[in-house]
Each structure stands twice: as C-alpha cells, then as structure tokens.
Structure 1
C-alpha cells in the first residue's frame, strides 16, 4: 500500500530545526575486542544493531553523556547473553563524538507527533488485514520494544515515500527502573539513548581513561 504524505503539524521550513547544531558525547557498552578493533583502526565502526525489539530501530546505539550506564549495560550483557546476542565476554566502554545531523528527537513535540501519525498509519494497515500489531514486552519497563521498533521504521518509510529528507539519528529519553527514593518522580535507570543511522554522524571514537 502506498504511503500517504505526512500531514505536517508545523510549517515545512521548521524541519530545518531538526538539524542538531552541536556535538554530543556518546558511550557504547560492548565487548573489549569489539571496542579495540575500532580504536586500533582494524574496524571502521561499531556494529549496527538490527533486532526486532530495538527501541529506536536499527542503528549504532549510544548512551548520551553516560559512560556509567554504558558499562552497566555491558556488564548486564555478559551475565544475560540475550541482551547482545552473546557477544560480550569482557565488558568495555568506548566513547564517540557525535553530530546528530537531522535528528528525530523524541523530546520535541513535532517528532512525537510524527511518530504518532506513523502509528496511526501502520495501525490502519494491521486493522484492515485483521492482524494484531506486535506488542512491547518484558516487564514494566517494556525492554523488548517490538511495537515501538515497527512504528519508528514506519515513520522512516513514510518520510522516504513522501520525499522528505531522511533522519540521520533518533534520540529519546527513557524512564526505567525503581523509584530513586520513596515518593520520587525520578527513576534509577533514567537515560537518553541515541541510535545513529548514518555513520557520518560519528566524528570519531576515543578511549576512556582507565580503559
């Protein structure tokens, strides 16, 4: 079924504000060998993640300004191999300097509206086909995001079919974990995650002190 053009809720010229004006530090938790291959130049980039449950769709994933959470993820992935397809044997963190380019920032109203319109589009298709949509799963934090992945990819498809410039990256805040303290509005694992879709957004990698 051909995609309908996206209905813009803001003037088209405003799309230019999706261009990120600054650099961001990102941190990637992985296996030491994978990081060393990038740092010594034998591999140009980190491996792109393309799982059906990836929260922000396919991309090279980074924790924004948070090497601690990146290391926590790497440690968890060693203990729970399903988190990284069994690839983490020695937990490690590698840093990257990122320019997010044209970013789908799911902290701004227009990007959230665009994602909602993508859900309505793909939801209608599933309804017409009398098929259930994939669901997010795995506990209160919904750490297996099958539906979100589908909707994010639908959004990218709609942009492409409507002749709208593609996103280079996707950025979102996630609110996870237990309350930080009794009655808190903050949660222990809150973080901002970035999925880099265009590798030209990665301006360089670096080794963290002590790693």
Structure 2
C-alpha cells in the first residue's frame, strides 16, 4: 500500500494561533476594520502568508515586543485566531517532509546547488545558530507551491513546522528557550475567527458563590 492511500495525514480540527503586532492594528483587525496582511519577505521561514505561533501567546507577545524595541511598531499586542489547517504542507508529517526534500532535489538538478540562496543571520547576530533569515527555506517552500500549481494539484492552504530555536534552558540541554510551532496561513478562509486574548479569571470550581446561588424550587 502506498502512502497516498492512507487517510491520516491531515488535522481536521480547529486550533489556536497568536499573531504579534501593534495594538492599533490588532484592534482594527478584531473589529473587522482591516484584514490581516500576508508577509512576503524572501527570508520568511515558511514562505509567504500570515504567521501565527501555535498555542503560544507569550511567544507572539515577545515577538511584538521585539518589533517595538526596533521601532517598527508603537505598542506591542497580540491577536488571537481560531484556525483550521485544511490542506497543509505540514513539516511535522513525513509525507510533507518527503515532498519538500524532493522539491529541493529537483531544484539542485535544474540550477545546481552553488546558485542557491543560503539561510543566514543578520550582521548583529552573526554567531547565532538559528539562521534567522531563511532565504533557502523560503525559496524551497515557494517552489512547492509553484509545482502544485503547475501540476494542477490543490493549492496548500497552510504551512506548519516546529522550530528548535534559542539557547539551551540548562547546560547540556537539547531543550531551547525559543522553540515553537509556527503556522503560515496562505488561504484567509482558514482563519475562522479573531479575538483579543483574555486574562485568566479566578474560579474555585463553583458556578455560583453560595450567597448568589439560586435556591432550589420545590416540586
């Protein structure tokens, strides 16, 4: 039985994503006064699209704070989103990993490895192991979308991958302090809802405080 005959390489459920941005932008998006705009940089980690940190408000807010510190936004904020992956190029799934690897091999045969862009760091982070400017990865992902169009295959709605990023959380660890799962949404219809994240509310397990409870009605 070939891999294409199996039915499990999909995630049919809904999940939460978080997008760091400026507070005014966040409020306009949630109120429906503006749309989320895709990132189209040549170094984007998962190609062009709208980026979300999966189930990770804190990482999204940290990213927004970095934008504010760099003077790119005024006040950091986070937009929450209810997402579905639909037809996903999912780099947590072996089929998608194999497809992207095969695409890279096709590129090598066509133009040669010496002409490919590289993943690099910006100058002020030259010693980092993370390669924050993903020119090569972005190119290979975009080729996957191009091949799908040329073969008349369904377009990918989303791209997802886990990234091991940052510094070890203790000496000798393989757990890094910025590891995360990122989702790149290409099809805006995969964004099912948008919201401003809520703070946790105190709750002791009771629906009502005793003094507020509705008295039982005798039958």
TM-score when scaled to structure 2? 0.83
The aligned runs of 1:37-52 (5 Å cut-off) are 37-43=28-34, 45-52=35-42
What RMSD, in angstroms, separates the aligned Cα atoms of the two structures? Answer: 1.7
Answer yes or no: is 1:207 the counterpart of 2:190: no
Aligned residues: 193
Structure 2 stretches lacking a partner, 5+ long: 122-127, 200-219
The residue aligned with 2:151 is 162
Answer yes or no: is 1:26 the counterpart of 2:17: yes
Answer yes or no: is 1:134 the counterpart of 2:126: no
- Please say which structure displays the higher CA radius of gyration: 2
The residue aligned with 1:116 is 101
Partner deviation per Cα, 1:111-145 (whole Å, 9 max, x = no partner): 10000011111122222xx9621000013101100
Please tell me whether the aligned partners of residues 84 and 192 of structure 2 are also in contact (alpha carbons under 8 angstroms). Answer: yes
Distance 1:204 1:10 in 2: 37
Where does structure 1 differ by over 6 angstroms across 4 or more consecutive aligned residues?
none
1:31 is displaced (CA, Å) by 0.6
Tell me which moved more, 31-40 or 65-74: 31-40
Partner deviation per Cα, 1:23-43 (whole Å, 9 max, x = no partner): 010000001111111112211
Structure 1 stretches lacking a partner, 5+ long: 1-8
